[in-house]
Structure 1
């Protein structure tokens, strides 16, 4: 797989800069330019996003375009009216195409159009990997543009939450919209965001009645009888009621990568307030690192929830990042097959590099049986394509770093990582980290699992950590004495007993 596209990017940037630097003797107060983008192989129009900044670094708003965080999203072509001057640009059609970056000059009266060909350097769907975003909000037409520009195949559209149900009084038709030939938007996605944390819902036939609920009552588990075929995702591993949700078997996945995690706010009564206080002020990676630490600790308890990713909602504060989850589908893609792959943990999450791993032909989520005490080596086959500079690759084993190598060492080893050794139950995954500034950019596979004598690894200290988490959460339930408070406290007691029992079942420290 390619690891650097510097020459291709530089050539493309020079070509685009040349096409944009058009002069005209006609004097006017503005310049007009139409940019068309096509796939180099198919010659079909490409959706993309472009961020144009002036000489002061200020992003320019393009009239008529969908603007998110200073980037203009468009399909096929974009008409721009700009003042004369010098500009910088960054054109992006998703992680399977190289960036186009460079500078251009527009003079008064310029009027021209150009077609730019983008050459796809990898086709993930040809390998059976399909990207999705588990939490998108906004107008359907805008989300379709975003999905095509960001090259997403599946999106979960949040159309109801605690404040609003868009479907109230309206007939509910097909929950899935198909567009762009092979893209799918689930229209009945929802959100419940209260004191216990935020949950995202997908695959429901109708919205849940979460409007006008109190912050603490009823617990989110109240709706479990209505979730027969639904997929429920915790917004992060930092949610206050995460241990309760797990004890009640509410969750199907945990989001470990999203801009919302980086923006997460810890109040003084949050069960993880002490851990959050250790994050250095101004450390933009702190929340993301803590979320990963909590996810690894969860895996240490023997709980197997697949990791997923999301990129939030459409608003002025939304980032134009590419946080997403890839799920592997054998054969013909369908939304059901994609969800089945998510449930099986055949995934990787990323906001940059494209990381695929297998062991003996098995994908993440697979459970390898071994005999206790016997040495077993697992050789990871790794494929990596990236537009960013990789700082290092690492193998995480049972929550700890087992292997760390630089990209140069990885190349020198011809893509072969050192084997991972097990004599007992455990789990492992592969992660790569880039040097992208401004946020924590990485990709990680879902875990592979190892079972000795048919038993998962259960850490006593990790189980006790979640038991104590329940204590801290229960102490700060904000309800007056009465039946409602008693009901919530009983749920927390049940969660405490769940984690205490798990600690007693532990087969690891």
Structure 2
């Protein structure tokens, strides 16, 4: 969307909502007859309406062991509870945690069971946001498993879409027809949620693409260039009723990244992916193919900060590719939707959602909910500066909902901090951000980074773009970085004659692209 210039002098408003933690302490009433096991029933409801919620529950005994709740689905220590928590077990002390997505307070509490006792309690979770009313719909674009087993978790995570990727080749499976891309939507359009399958995850060495709504027509040879899959997917005919192909870079650290970027066939980049997990463990470990700044990205937050930095380098080359997110559910220990992307669309349908994501009207998160606008425009917009005007003011407004302690809020412009503040300080001052001034073309993202030290937990908008004199920003240093990356990849592939021959056309095209890009650079 092309945004027109809006002049404003009013300060930016920041609406901050801190989520409280609901707690419960369930006392047991003695039963009138003896029991071999104690029983407890805890109703889990929305505080404002009293309606029962579908939740993700972890129940631990006194030794810290995860307990299965009868009748509930169980995965990696978590129970999917549809209605009240009903548990019958041995005498002892128990603790529980209850989650229903980032729009609700989390709940925790404990109870003691006796052999001859039974009790009941109610846990009320407060809703602190209803971003569906604002047009936001959340998705996890990297899940694994059987669709019918994944779909029930959508309600527990307050998630609208899960995409199941397949790492098998088409020779080992049947290609789903158009109707099977969307499975079992709920009956009510206002609460519709869906699971998609039929997306190919290319995990071969040097690759890391997710090709949504497309499967290769035959078994993929080991030496087939990954860029060939990009071309094939985009040349495929979308069947009647099917969804358009949407290609993602899932591994932004992979060898073939500069070739993919040069192809023009990349629709989004997963900047929150399997390298970030809820508790910081069982994350995908990786070594960047080309280290941008040796020694800089270390510690538990290092992988997340590195991928974010690489994404910023993509933006610095003038490419306008929105971010996305996927949790890797079904492989790691993160729950479905831990890493998620929200896209904004007034029309609730899969096709419109994917179009909104491609347009960059979105934000990514693994914690806070961050909705921001610049000069009244949504992320993905281009803000044009009238010719001859030397300065441009950015008026940032945002609404933030978070249960995590926030370290800082900032606005990044062309990879550097344009504005930063500790959120608690500005919350006390009414949450006012002064108008920000820029004097050159570029891109901006609004971020909230939490204080979690064991992992990189944050929310970030997709970029806003600012153009002076109708020119986009292209950084020479960023282009040269990807040229160096491409040179290293070319040298590696040259060591195998067969691989080199197959990749040669794509490497040559990428070299021409980056050479041309360098000649068009507008900034250092």
Q: Same fold (TM over 0.5)?
A: yes
Q: 1:199 aligns with which of 203, 209, 233?
A: 209
Inter-partner Cα distance in structure 1 for 2:513 and 2:175: 41
Q: Please show how residues 195-344 of structure 1 align to structure 2 within 5 Å.
A: 195-204=205-214, 207-209=215-217, 211-214=219-222, 216-228=223-235, 229-261=244-276, 263-266=283-286, 271-273=289-291, 275=293, 278-280=296-298, 283-315=299-331, 317-319=333-335, 322-330=338-346, 332-344=347-359
Moved more, 62-71 or 439-448: 62-71
Inter-partner Cα distance in structure 2 for 1:277 and 1:472: 20
Counterpart of 2:132 in 1: which secondary structure?
A: helix
Contact 1:349 1:445 (8 Å CA) reproduced: yes
Moved more, 108-117 or 136-145: 108-117
1:189 equivalent in alignment to 2:205: no
Q: Give the direction of change, closer, same or farther, for the CA distance of 1:67–1:475 in structure 2 (3 Å limit).
A: farther
Q: Give the deviation of 1:50 after TM superposition.
A: 0.9
Equivalent position of 2:391 in the other structure: 375
Equivalent position of 1:141 in the other structure: 148
Q: Give the direction of change, closer, same or farther, for the CA distance of 1:69–1:153 in structure 2 (3 Å limit).
A: same
Equivalent position of 1:500 in the other structure: 515
Equivalent position of 1:96 in the other structure: 103
Contact 2:136 2:342 (8 Å CA) reproduced: yes
1:230-282 CA-to-partner distances (Å, cap 9, x unmatched) read 01111142222111101011210001112335634335xx52257576543xx
Equivalent position of 2:370 in the other structure: 355
Q: Give the direction of change, closer, same or farther, for the CA distance of 1:177–1:113 in structure 2 (3 Å limit).
A: farther
Inter-partner Cα distance in structure 2 for 1:253 and 1:169: 24
Q: Give the direction of change, closer, same or farther, for the CA distance of 1:34–1:301 in structure 2 (3 Å limit).
A: same
Equivalent position of 1:391 in the other structure: 407
Equivalent position of 2:484 in the other structure: 468
Q: Give the deviation of 1:2 after TM superposition.
A: 5.1
Inter-partner Cα distance in structure 1 for 2:345 and 2:337: 24
Contact 1:221 1:245 (8 Å CA) reproduced: no
Q: Give the direction of change, closer, same or farther, for the CA distance of 1:458–1:125 in structure 2 (3 Å limit).
A: same
Contact 2:153 2:336 (8 Å CA) reproduced: no
1:154 equivalent in alignment to 2:170: no
1:316-354 CA-to-partner distances (Å, cap 9, x unmatched) read 644466211111113x32211111111110111111111
Q: Give the deviation of 1:479 after TM superposition.
A: 6.3
Moved more, 129-138 or 63-72: 63-72
Greater RCO structure (CA 8 Å; 6+ sep)? 2
Over aligned residues, Cα RMSD in angstroms? 2.6
Inter-partner Cα distance in structure 1 for 2:116 and 2:149: 31
Moved more, 32-41 or 185-194: 32-41
Q: Give the direction of change, closer, same or farther, for the CA distance of 1:75–1:452 in structure 2 (3 Å limit).
A: same
Q: Give the direction of change, closer, same or farther, for the CA distance of 1:315–1:357 in structure 2 (3 Å limit).
A: same
TM-score (norm 2): 0.87
Counterpart of 1:260 in 2: which secondary structure?
A: coil
Contact 2:476 2:518 (8 Å CA) reproduced: yes
Inter-partner Cα distance in structure 2 for 1:112 and 1:144: 32
Contact 1:302 1:456 (8 Å CA) reproduced: yes
Moved more, 235-244 or 422-431: 235-244
Counterpart of 2:260 in 1: which secondary structure?
A: helix
Q: Give the deviation of 1:102 after TM superposition.
A: 2.3
Q: Give the direction of change, closer, same or farther, for the CA distance of 1:503–1:103 in structure 2 (3 Å limit).
A: same
Equivalent position of 2:438 in the other structure: 422
Q: 1:65 aligns with which of 68, 72, 81?
A: 72
Q: 2:469 aligns with which of 437, 441, 453?
A: 453
Inter-partner Cα distance in structure 1 for 2:388 and 2:414: 16
Q: Give the direction of change, closer, same or farther, for the CA distance of 1:209–1:317 in structure 2 (3 Å limit).
A: farther
Equivalent position of 1:175 in the other structure: 181
Q: Give the direction of change, closer, same or farther, for the CA distance of 1:69–1:372 in structure 2 (3 Å limit).
A: farther
Counterpart of 1:79 in 2: which secondary structure?
A: strand
Q: Give the direction of change, closer, same or farther, for the CA distance of 1:316–1:398 in structure 2 (3 Å limit).
A: closer
Structure 2 gaps, min length 5: 1-14, 236-243, 278-282
Q: Give the direction of change, closer, same or farther, for the CA distance of 1:481–1:52 in structure 2 (3 Å limit).
A: same
Contact 2:273 2:327 (8 Å CA) reproduced: yes
Inter-partner Cα distance in structure 2 for 1:211 and 1:28: 59
Counterpart of 1:302 in 2: which secondary structure?
A: coil
Q: Give the deviation of 1:108 after TM superposition.
A: 1.7
Q: Give the deviation of 1:210 after TM superposition.
A: 6.1
Inter-partner Cα distance in structure 2 for 1:442 and 1:490: 39
1:47-70 CA-to-partner distances (Å, cap 9, x unmatched) read 111112233333333354333332
Contact 1:157 1:190 (8 Å CA) reproduced: no
Inter-partner Cα distance in structure 2 for 1:68 and 1:196: 31
Contact 1:47 1:149 (8 Å CA) reproduced: yes
Contact 1:164 1:211 (8 Å CA) reproduced: yes
Inter-partner Cα distance in structure 2 for 1:409 and 1:171: 54
Inter-partner Cα distance in structure 2 for 1:367 and 1:464: 25
Equivalent position of 1:38 in the other structure: 45
Q: Give the deviation of 1:22 after TM superposition.
A: 4.6
Structure 1 gaps, min length 5: none
Counterpart of 1:50 in 2: which secondary structure?
A: strand
Matched residue pairs, number? Answer: 492
Q: Give the deviation of 1:98 after TM superposition.
A: 0.4
